[in-house]
Structure 1
């Protein structure tokens, strides 16, 4: 008999609830990071402050997960032999992803960042091809990749013109999505040997502490003046990181990469509409077209095989 956790996260409704919840939380991060920058006075070119803010967010997120571990009666002590495993995940899923994410988002709009976030699904498909023999690239997946990346290119077109506005900020966001996808795939592999809560909390702690150390070298240890508004937004970002990664890493543990990657299309959907609502960013025709292409590409990539090709063994 399957353990209760596995039964929940392999059931279609459990997969849908967990994956949708995680993508909603991640989609909401785009406007909330932008709002936090405004409230704390973090400028576009203040890279060290951006990194420091990210570091504090993930250290707090890791501590929240450790509190959950303690409350359910498990040990939060270090497990011998796990440092390299959680360190490698933390390098990609927290450190590198969010160095590029925070800098990229500071120079891009919430809507643009949300649409580019859709590329995480494509990167996961590509990485899974090389890391898992059961997730090979097919013609259908290539077609989906081309359609999706066409949407990423289109999002760089400015309103009312045919010029492109795809600069260093958008390139950084693409790199962030690549490192995030790599971290996701690595976490699936390591979750075969490590508890999800332990793995997620320690990779966040290690990645977060490095972010704090790097940010503090250029911005000092506490250059921020937290208002009540900034404080609750910071807390929300930490909570969404904790819950989002726990949900996603758990659903990744019990399912194939390709079978759940389709849910990542909800990140740009949630992110675009939340950015429009909270940041008052305009949803003009090009944004709708780019969003449609990204979503279409992800659906094509993850579309189930035709019945006649199913292996019924």
Structure 2
């Protein structure tokens, strides 16, 4: 029980850090260089973790790491940008709030992790909470934005599932470093072609890039992949609902935005959903045993 909650707390660092990037990006980074922003976030983080891990890919990781890097970082970051530019933030956030469904849906056939009734209840409560937090937009919805959001949800969920499926005795730090570096290199090449030279920023912008690369990327994804190693995919997806909740909370505390009663209720429901999925029946040792999680099939 204590170990499970510790893993949940470690995993929660990731969506909380990602939620904080909304405020940092909006107030401190240039809005006209999104691809460079993504590249300067991924590549430095990958190189930092690689310097700490001091290990090169071996065997199948020479092709697994670039593939996962494109799914988890390269394609995902680009698609999220298109979605953010094409849709109201409430709709885009609502689309990404479906991640527990996508993760659990893919985990069933690929990882043999069958969703439980408790997970279904927690998922319904959590998604309702996110919808209350982000609200709804009455404006027109661009089909391109919906398509980009759906693809972003698909590639990030597939990347998370493959990360779980291909787990082995490879150190987590090294595996994360390889993916970030591969995705960052791809983003640099695309950014150089599409946007030209990297943007110039002031000292505050440099500090923001460093914080996003180190905390919201390097540290956050190590925590995220830790959760994927030790928790069912559907549970990790529910923890990810803290992302939009954090964005709204920091918008209120830092950006001077208003918080409605419905949004406050939504935050409470998201936290309740995470609690529901992790509460163990008293006296049931089987429910809390790691062996309850189905074994991951070999690739």
Q: TM-score, normalised by structure 2?
A: 0.78
- Cα separation, 1, equivalents of 2:71 and 2:251: 26
Offset of 1:226 from its aligned partner?
1.5
The 3 A distance-change label for structure 1 pair 306 and 80 is closer
- Cα separation, 1, equivalents of 2:248 and 2:91: 8
1:46 corresponds to: none
2:72 corresponds to: 93
Aligned pairs (5 A) from 1:15-30: 15-30=7-22
> Once the two structures are superposed, what CA deviation does each residue of 1:228-285 show, in whole Å capped at 9, x if it has no partner?
0110001111012000111121232133334544432322322220122233333235
- Further displaced range: 260-269 or 147-156: 147-156
The 3 A distance-change label for structure 1 pair 260 and 33 is same
- Cα separation, 1, equivalents of 2:61 and 2:222: 18
Q: TM-score, normalised by structure 1?
A: 0.75
> Once the two structures are superposed, what CA deviation does each residue of 1:86-123 show, in whole Å capped at 9, x if it has no partner?
12211211112111223333456777766654433332
1:237 corresponds to: 212
Unaligned runs of 5+ in 2: 293-299
Aligned pairs (5 A) from 1:3-42: 11-12=3-4, 14-36=6-28, 39-40=29-30, 42=31
- Cα separation, 2, equivalents of 1:284 and 1:178: 31
The question of 1:220 aligning with 2:196 is answered yes
1:276 corresponds to: 252
User: Retained in 2: the 8 A contact 1:116–1:268?
Assistant: no
Offset of 1:176 from its aligned partner?
2.7
Q: Helix, strand or coil: the match of 1:11?
A: helix
- Cα separation, 2, equivalents of 1:107 and 1:278: 25
The 3 A distance-change label for structure 1 pair 243 and 81 is same
Task: Give the number of aligned pairs.
Answer: 284
Aligned pairs (5 A) from 1:90-169: 90-106=69-85, 117-133=96-112, 135-146=113-124, 148-149=126-127, 155=134, 157-158=136-137, 163=138, 166-167=141-142, 168-169=144-145
Match of 1:54 among 38, 47, 55: 38
The 3 A distance-change label for structure 1 pair 13 and 308 is closer
The 3 A distance-change label for structure 1 pair 151 and 100 is farther
The 3 A distance-change label for structure 1 pair 232 and 59 is same
Q: Helix, strand or coil: the match of 2:136?
A: coil
User: Retained in 2: the 8 A contact 1:114–1:267?
Assistant: no
- Cα separation, 2, equivalents of 1:303 and 1:231: 39
- Cα separation, 2, equivalents of 1:307 and 1:13: 15
1:4 corresponds to: none
- Cα separation, 1, equivalents of 2:254 and 2:274: 26
- Cα separation, 1, equivalents of 2:147 and 2:57: 36
- Cα separation, 2, equivalents of 1:239 and 1:295: 26
1:63 corresponds to: 47
Query: Pairwise CA RMSD of aligned residues?
Result: 3.3
The 3 A distance-change label for structure 1 pair 34 and 103 is farther
Unaligned runs of 5+ in 1: 1-9, 44-48, 70-74
- Cα separation, 2, equivalents of 1:17 and 1:249: 13
The 3 A distance-change label for structure 1 pair 250 and 294 is closer
